[in-house]
Amino acid sequence: MVYLTMAMVSMAKPSFLRAEQPLAHDLTSSSSSSSNSRRRDLVFIVNPRGANGRTGREWKKLLPYLRFRLGTDCNISESLTEGPSHAIDITREAIREGADAVVAVGGDGTLHEVVNGFFWGGKPVSKHDSKVPRTTSLGLIPLGTGSDFARTFGWSNDPVDAIERLVKGSRSRIDVGVITKEGGDLHYFINVADIHLSAKAGYHASKYKRFGNLCYVIGALQAFFGHQNHDLKIRVNDGEWELYPKVTALCIGNAQFFGGGMRITPNAHPSNGNFEVVTLQDFKWYDFILKLHRLYNGTHLSVNNVLSRSAFSIEVEEVVGSNSIFVQSDGEHLGFLPRKFSILPSVISMIC
């Protein structure tokens, strides 16, 4: 089997953008003589329809190797999602039952739902047995169309590398963003939230995922038709309201990449306690063609009409209400402005 063969060769270590926190116990460690040593409970949440079914096919190939590497010392539970928001429910139940880790298997959409499952009613989900001191960690095996969140850590889509991270068991605390709307439910995101043209492009791209990463190009082209830049009111860190004229797109990054590899918020990182907020103003369709390479390599911050700032909260409203300014987070359509975006620092333990 291909995964078993790969295990026999030396594997390159993934690169990281920051120093790790002190290591947790190795998930496969069996050398401990402690009487408290026990098998760890890992729940893998898989979207079998992700990436046009490729996620499900790859998962079936991967599962024997995963059991080979982790099955001796861990209880492995697989849960296949059956539709939208199912991963949220599975995650909440796994945490309440005391799982050591919930691992998202798929793309940014699956990860997004799993992260939302860590919360309920505005608070982190807690275990039924409050006497158990364990914290449920978040894990990721990126097998989706975009897998943009993984890029910030330098992770590839190689599932063997992902499993080795689980074997190593290193954990770090990461930040999560929360989006609020007056009278609406809270919504959480781990990667990038965005407003206006980019959000509209993401909305259209979601309809063409059968074309792989090409869906982002198709979505962007469709979003350009009839697009108009809009004046927005923005309040950063609960300060004074500011007018931003002719906004083309506004991106709020907890991590760096979106849209299939576009490094839109190049200074963001989910461990620094702040968002990077990047605003594009008065862009024309030809600006994107001429400057697309800068958006992908993260050098666009020096371009005219591009503003970057750090923030722990940001509120965004239209100057003239049209109820037509798209909002999305982690590639998921959330509706329209107004919205407030706030950081929750170090709220989740992630296996990295």
pLDDT in tens, 118-143: 999 999 999 877 666 679 999 999 98
Q: Is 188's pLDDT higher than 80?
A: yes
* CATH number for the domain that contains residue 126: 3.40.50.10330
Q: What is the pTM of this model?
A: 0.87
Give domain status of residue 7, yes or no.
no
The answer on 127 and 273 residing in a single domain is no
End-of-domain residue from the set 140, 169, 198: 169
The H-or-E segment that residue 6 falls in is helix 2-7
pLDDT value for 34: 38
Give domain status of residue 116, yes or no.
yes
Whole-Å CA distances, 185 to 96, 116, 182, 231: 21, 12, 8, 26
End-of-domain residue from the set 142, 169, 196: 169
Strand bridging mode 339-351 / 313-318: antiparallel
Instruction: Domain count for the chain, please give it.
Output: 2
Single out the catalytic residue among 100, 108, 194, 330: 108
The answer on 252 and 131 residing in a single domain is no
* Better pLDDT: 30 or 245: 245
> Is there a catalytic annotation at residue 73?
no
The answer on 332 and 230 residing in a single domain is yes
Strand bridging mode 101-106 / 40-46: parallel
The answer on 143 and 275 residing in a single domain is no
Across 182-186, 216-220, 313-317, the highest mean pLDDT is recorded for: 313-317
The answer on 329 and 212 residing in a single domain is yes
Give domain status of residue 46, yes or no.
yes
Give domain status of residue 99, yes or no.
yes
Q: What is the mean pLDDT of residues 108-117?
A: 96
The answer on 334 and 194 residing in a single domain is yes
Give domain status of residue 196, yes or no.
yes
End-of-domain residue from the set 135, 169, 203: 169
The answer on 119 and 52 residing in a single domain is yes
Which residues lie closer than 8 Å to 128 by C-beta, 6 or more apart? 96, 97, 98
Backbone angles phi, psi at 234, to 5 degrees: -135, 135
Q: At what angle are helices 86-96 and 108-117 packed, to 10 degrees?
A: 40
CA–CA gap between residue 261 and residue 275 (Å, rounded): 19
Give domain status of residue 2, yes or no.
no
Q: Is 2's pLDDT higher than 90?
A: no
* CATH number for the domain that contains residue 291: 2.60.200.40
pLDDT digits (tens, 9 = 90+) for 295-341: 999 999 999 999 999 999 999 999 987 788 999 999 999 999 999 99
Give domain status of residue 292, yes or no.
yes
Give domain status of residue 21, yes or no.
no
User: Over the chain, what is the mean pLDDT?
Assistant: 87
- Contacts of 212-221 spanning 24+ positions with Cβ under 8 A: 212/51, 212/52, 212/145, 213/145, 213/146, 213/260, 213/261, 215/145, 215/260, 216/146, 216/259, 216/260, 216/262, 220/259, 220/288
The answer on 159 and 121 residing in a single domain is yes
Output the six-digit token pair for 266: 């190049």
Read off the pLDDT band of 220 (50, 70, 90).
confident
Output the six-digit token pair for 143: 């097998």
pLDDT digits (tens, 9 = 90+) for 18-69: 333 433 344 544 333 333 567 899 999 999 988 889 899 999 999 999 999 9
Phi-psi category of 246—alpha, beta or left, where left has phi over 0 and alpha has psi -120 to 50?
left
pLDDT value for 13: 35
The answer on 282 and 199 residing in a single domain is yes
- Contacts of 239-245 spanning 24+ positions with Cβ under 8 A: 243/319, 244/279, 244/281, 245/281, 245/282
Range of the domain at 209: 186-345
The answer on 302 and 197 residing in a single domain is yes
Output the six-digit token pair for 298: 């993260």
The answer on 192 and 164 residing in a single domain is no
The answer on 136 and 251 residing in a single domain is no
Q: Is 116's pLDDT higher than 90?
A: yes
Share of the chain above pLDDT 70, in %: 88
Residue 264: closest CA among 112, 113, 148, 140: 148
